Amino acid sequence: MSAASIVTFIGIAIAVAVIALYLIAIAWTLYRVYFNLGTVIVGVKSICKQVEPVPKYVGIILNDVMAIDQAAQQLLAWGGDEEDMVVDPRIARMTLELQSVDDDEEVAGTQPGSASFRQRWATEHATPGV
Residue 78 lies in a domain: yes
Which pLDDT band, with edges at 50, 70 and 90, does 62 fall under? confident
Q: What pTM, to 2 d.p., does this model score?
A: 0.39
Query: Above 80 in pLDDT, residue 81?
Result: no
Contact between residue 105 and residue 111 where contact means Cβ atoms under 8 Å apart: yes
Contact between residue 86 and residue 77 where contact means Cβ atoms under 8 Å apart: yes
Same domain, 45 and 99: no
**Distance from C-alpha of 27 to C-alpha of 100, rounded to nearest angstrom:** 55
Contact between residue 112 and residue 53 where contact means Cβ atoms under 8 Å apart: yes
Same domain, 11 and 74: no
Query: Above 80 in pLDDT, residue 74?
Result: no
Q: What is the pLDDT of residues 5-33, one digit of tens each?
A: 999 999 999 999 999 999 999 999 999 99
pLDDT averaged over every residue in the chain: 76
Same domain, 62 and 105: yes
Say how many domains are in the chain: 2
The pLDDT score that the predictor gives to residue 71 is: 80
Which pLDDT band, with edges at 50, 70 and 90, does 39 fall under? very high
Domain finish residue from 12, 29, 50: 50
